[in-house]
Structure 1
Amino acid sequence: MQHFNTPLRSKVQGTQNLHTCLPKGMDFFILLSSTSAVIGNRGQSNYAAACAYQDAFARYRVSLGEKCVSLNLGMVTGVGIVAEQRQLGEALEAAGYQGIQESELLAMLDCFCDPTFGVASSFGSQIVTGLVTPQSVKSKGLEEIFWMRKPLFRNLHQIDQTKEDPTQKTEVTISYAALLNSVGSRQAAATIITQALIKKLSKTLSSPEENIDPNKPLESFGVDSLVAVEIRSWLSKEIKADVAVFDILASDSISALCLLAAGKSSCIQTIEDTK
């Protein structure tokens, strides 16, 4: 419970303290929220909730006639941990976080810190940055991200729409559930799952399939808890296997993980366990 409350206190109580202790009529009042409050964060629901509180508080504050803007920030490219850890940036992009440049962030701060900038409207009190569009995701050969299917984001599907290029190859959708339903051994099922997971990792990590060795653990490819949560969701959706995030991260190799997933898959009707 302590781990859950830590990010809540810093944002919820911190925001309340600033509002209460600072004088009225401030030249500016800026809350640094996160895109997680808008699209969610499967691995850090407490952080997403704390940021959503800041967004709501910004509306409350402007309703009192006080200045306040909540900035839903994604990743800022070129500086900080994203610049230092390339794989982290690639994983965030695959999860739907479109980066903004440091100069763009500084430009927003210049705007909202300007004393002549008036009190924002209710809707203008929240600025969402860096939401990637479905079209841009597909153009990179990535799968549509789970949050894009929610009605809240239906307008994003209207952005950047282009005519279908007849020369562009259409990706074939494979039903792994159907493939697994036809196998008769756990090892055969594991082979299918391994091939599928390598394709998934290739897209998620922006790495060629031939560079992903199934005999190595996921951590050797830079897979962290956020990517592990995405893999868990993919295993549940594609092969109907409920695999814990701990088991995904602790697995000795990709092959071992897929063998475990094969044993948990409800798609497999007949299994003659091979030893």
Structure 2
Amino acid sequence: MWKHSVKFSFITNQLIIQRAYLQKYAKAIYKWLRSLLSDISLILPKSIIQPSNSKSNLNNMVSSYFLAQSLPLIELDKNTIAKIPMSVSDAVLFRHNAVYIVAGGLTGLGFETVKFILNNGGGHIVILSRRNPNTEMKQQIAKAMSEKENTKIITISCDIGHYADVKKAIDSIQKIFPNIPIKGVFHSAVVLHDGILENLNLSLFEKVLSPKVNGAVNLHCATLNQKLDYFVCYSSVASFLGNYGQANYAAANSFLDIFCQYRRNLGLPAQSINWGALNIGALNIGVLLDQPQVRNILQARGLLLLSVPEIHEYLKKCLLLNNTQQAIVKFDFKLIYDSLASRIPGMKRRLFSLVNEYVNNLDDKNQIKRSKVNTQKSEEYILSLVSELTSVTLGDITMSSLMISLGIDSMLAMTLQQRVFEEKGVNVSVVKLLDPNTTILDVGSWIKENSSDEEKLTEKIILDTKL
């Protein structure tokens, strides 16, 4: 209607300010806006739209927020959607006036997460653990709080594998901090029981799966009425690379990866982080770092150790990127190829884009290397190789010599396995090499039975020549 040269237009915001509607009627809306301002140049600003990242704003916000790399901007005149990059360089990850839960926060990566939250603005942290902190751990907690003013860390005894315990813990948190919202959950709990697959029964699977699987579901259900900013599950590189003797652990972590997809589909925050080898006293793939032999085995497989500063740096990047699943792993690509990718076609395909040129060159080199050793009989080859690796003279080794009696340990077994595969194209099981009853003859026969037709043809030609 018109009155005193003033035109009023009524807009149903709930209908119009929606992406689908704007996309469909963008040009019509643009023409309508132009008609309203026929005498005025219409300039639609294209600027970065994002909430303030200042500490004061984050502390006073009540509703939950999601961190994102970009936001959509619909250009009405072109009927297109552009991605506006968000500035995250000065982002404050955590609010001081909020509670963050760290399940399994008394050891290793869990306690590093506690310190990480404190160092990035968090003021109230609750550690859920099945056991109470010992004297040393209490001192570490007190030290962490003393380094940050007005911060509080409490521990609550809780088995997150049982929903009743988790619900009770959440109720306790709300009583302890009645006016402070729970804004984040970090699931770092883990139980390990390694063993080859044929030795893992149902109870051993349940033992390892319970804290990971039941824990994630219970934390999810108990916090559904909380407006969380973070729900972060600590998974492992074992879920997509695998790790010898850890089928149950790999399965548990694979569940976490998929469960975070499920939460995202519900419109809830969730991130799964696949950690590699960590230099923090205990590795997320289930072995202790204070054992030099373990460290050597990991490095022989191409998994390099992440230091504490690197852990904090990449954890921050992950939270800012906010992808559903991310891996934080440091690889030596030559070794990872030798130990895994060269033998497992699926693994080679996964890593191919990262190491394309290297893989192609290495394949050619391996072909040349194999062609040189394939003229050697399997028994002679394994005798020579074992002598080289163990420094035992050939005169002291016979075909009936036990591998273990020659000093073949887990490290040497992995090296032997790698050399045989590179030079003969045969994958010999480490379990077989470490079997106390395995002899040089057994390994030689295994190589011969599984060698390429080229070696068998060579042996046939030699035999025919002698005849």
Name the CA distance, whole Å, in 1 between partners of 2:405 and 2:328.
31
* Helix, strand or coil at the partner of 1:29: strand
Tell me the TM-score normalized by structure 2: 0.40
Q: CA deviation at 1:260?
A: 1.4
Counterpart Cα distance in 2 of 1:105 and 1:191? 47
Give the match for residue 369 of structure 2.
173
Structure 1 Cα separation of the partners of residues 387 and 327 of structure 2: 33
Q: Do the aligned residues in 2 keep the contact of 1:235 with 1:243 (CA within 8 Å)? A: no
1:77 equivalent to 2:283? Answer: no
**Identity over the aligned pairs, expressed in percent?**
20
Structure 2 residue 294 is matched with structure 1 residue 88: yes
What is the letter of the counterpart of residue 104 of structure 1? E
> Within the alignment, does 1:127 sit opposite 2:326 as a pair?
yes
Distance in structure 2 (CA, Å) of the matches to 1:84 and 1:137? 22
Q: CA RMSD in A?
A: 4.4
Shift of 1:259: 1.9
SS at match of 1:150: helix
Corresponding residue to 1:190 among 379, 385, 388: 379
SS in 2 for 1:30: strand
Equivalent position amino acid for 1:248 in 2: L
User: How do residues 203-214 of structure 1 correspond to structure 2 at under 5 angstroms?
Assistant: 209=389
Question: Counterpart of 1:145 in structure 2: which amino acid?
Answer: L
Residue from 243, 248, 259 that aligns with 2:433: 248
Contact 2:277 2:305 in 1 (8 A): yes
In 2, the alpha carbon distance for the partners of 1:46 and 1:233 equals 29
Q: Say how many residue pairs are matched.
A: 232
1:180-230 residue CA offsets vs partner (Å, 9 max, x unmatched): 5xx4xxxxx43411433567xxxxxxxxx4657877728956517x949x9
For the 8 Å contact 2:369–2:423, the answer to whether it is kept is no
Report how far residue 88 of structure 1 moved: 1.1
Structure 1 residue runs of 5 or longer lacking an equivalent are 165-169, 184-188, 200-208, 271-275
Shift of 1:36: 1.3
Higher relative contact order by CA 8 Å / sep ≥ 6: 1 or 2?
Answer: 1
TM-score (norm 1): 0.64
The equivalent residue for 2:439 is 257
Distance of aligned partners of 1:72 and 1:7 in 2 relative to their CA distance in 1, 3 Å threshold:
same
Q: Write the deviation string for residues 121-180 of structure 1: whole angstroms up to 9, x where unpaired.
A: xxx12120115253x549xxx836325853222211158x7xx9xxxxx78613587335
Q: 1:4, CA displacement in angstroms?
A: 3.5
Quickly say closer, same or farther: Cα 1:28–1:239, change in 2 above 3 A.
Answer: closer
- Kindly provide the amino acid, as one letter, of the partner of residue 63 in structure 1: N
Q: Which residue of 1 aligns with 2:424?
A: 238
- Distance of aligned partners of 1:179 and 1:248 in 2 relative to their CA distance in 1, 3 Å threshold: same
Tell me which residue corresponds to 1:204: none
Q: Please give the secondary structure, in 1, of the residue aligned with 2:267.
A: coil
Give deviations 1:222-248, integer Å, cap 9, x for gaps.
517x949x9399569937586682x42
Tell whether 2:404 aligns with 1:217: yes
The correspondence for 1:21, drawn from 222, 238, 245, is 222
Question: When you count helix as a share of all residues, which structure comes out higher?
Answer: 1
Q: Which one is further off, 103-112 or 46-55?
A: 103-112
